[in-house]
Amino acid sequence: MYCFEKTKPIAIGCDHAGYDCKEELISFLEGEGLHCEDYGTFGKDSVDYPDFAHPVANAVESGVSAFGILLCGSANGVAIAANKHAGIRAAICWGEELAELARKHNNANIICIPARFISSGDAEKMLDVFMNTAFEGGRHQNRVLKIPV
């Protein structure tokens, strides 16, 4: 049971370090019958992660995309860039439990994956958990509402 609007595309982007994993995640998602909007990068040449994090964040923030996926070597750069957007809650995840908590407790709308530190199989598992976990609300809702400045 997916916890997002399946009629909207999933925004995905990466820098050069995340390229291979991004391509594998797109294949995984398309195999699930889901549509991805790929914001690049489209190769392994060195690029600047904000050039891809901002378009993904814009797509999620504007409601064009259901949620976002960002990848870079550590996931720190893309998370920092994406979290500059007021409507974004980008969470760095390196395991299934973190992906679950990012959704349950933080209502994260972008999952940030450290491509140099996890396998593509683990990325698929985290993504599956992220997509199938609902925000709990309750006491967490008040905390999420305090995030924007």
Task: Find where tokens 């994406």 sit.
Answer: 82
Please give the sequence-ordered ranges of beta strands (E in DSSP) within 3-145, or none if there are none. 10-14, 36-38, 68-72, 90-92, 110-114
Is residue 72 annotated as a catalytic residue, yes or no?
yes
Strand partners, 10: 36
Exposed/middle/buried for residue 72 (C-beta within 10 Å: 0-12, 13-18, 19+): buried
The helix/strand/coil state of 65 is coil
- Which residue of the set 72, 85, 93, 112 is catalytic? 72
Active-site annotation, residues:
72, 105
